[in-house]
Amino acid sequence: MEVKNKIILALDVPSMEKAVELMDKVSPYLDTVKIGYPLVLAEGLESVSRVKEEYDCKVICDFKVADIPATNQKIADVTFQAGADAIIVHGFVGADSATSCLESANQHGKEIFLLTEMSHPGASRFLQPVSMDIASMGVEMGITNYVGPSTRLDRLGKIRQIIGKDSFLISPGVGVQGGNPKDTLEFADALIIGRSIYLAPDPVEILESIIDSIEL
């Protein structure tokens, strides 16, 4: 996946009205948006189609899919039918659950991202002990897109080693959670950034400053 300016906006706003207000300002700088439960539970899956159509961008649905294979497949199918270009899938539930999402993606000509380790402090207790195994499982399955934490660069580097240089790695945790954009891009192909942009008094100013800092 190509990501303009290496930044994926996490569109975690509570309404389409807020989404449009933000996207009208920042869309010239972006071509990839991540939409998760905050917007979809408020406005429905239609928000995915609307953002795609109105802003001509790619949408990654961050549903962190983590159910049995049959249910995962239904979730992935309906997400792709709404127009999503990719869906984020948890790896800890096992290869069979992730495979059902991968099969759905292949049927729809779309992609999945396998979530290895999460970026928040609580991930260290349950997810961290298995995150490298999850990355290895993804490689065995032939998955080429991954999510890893910008808040623990040593671990992001290990994930990169496991998935190889040709896999596509996107990384949340930049900004409010403490991750540094430029340092993260030593290992990741693109950054996921939410609050630093949508809570800023001037989202365009902050976005421009992040882009400048990456290019330095």
Site residues, ligand XMP (CB under 6 A): 10, 12, 36, 62, 64, 88, 115, 118-119, 147, 149, 172-173, 175-177, 192-196
Active site (annotated) includes residue 64: yes
Annotated binding site for substrate: 12, 34, 62-71, 119, 172-182, 194-195
Active site (annotated) includes residue 85: no
- When the beta carbons of 60 and 82 are compared against ligand XMP, the nearer one is 60
- Among 18, 67, 77, 189, the one annotated catalytic: 67
> What is the helix (H) or strand (E) element at residue 194, kind and residue range?
none
Could you give the CA distance from residue 48 to residue 194 in angstroms, rounded to a whole number? 17
- When the beta carbons of 27 and 128 are compared against ligand XMP, the nearer one is 128
Q: 101-120 burial, b if ≥16 CB within 10 A, otherwise e? A: bbbbbeebebbbbbbbbbbe
Contacts of 29 (CB under 8 A, 6+ apart): 4, 5, 7, 204, 207, 208, 211
205 alpha carbon, distance to own chain's centre: 23
- Among 62, 85, 110, 158, the one annotated catalytic: 62
Closest distance to ligand XMP from the beta carbon of 124 (Å): 12
Closest distance to ligand XMP from the beta carbon of 89 (Å): 9
- When the beta carbons of 84 and 193 are compared against ligand XMP, the nearer one is 193
- Among 4, 64, 77, 189, the one annotated catalytic: 64
Say how many CA atoms lie within 13 Å of 169 toward its Cβ: 28
Active-site amino acid positions:
62, 64, 67
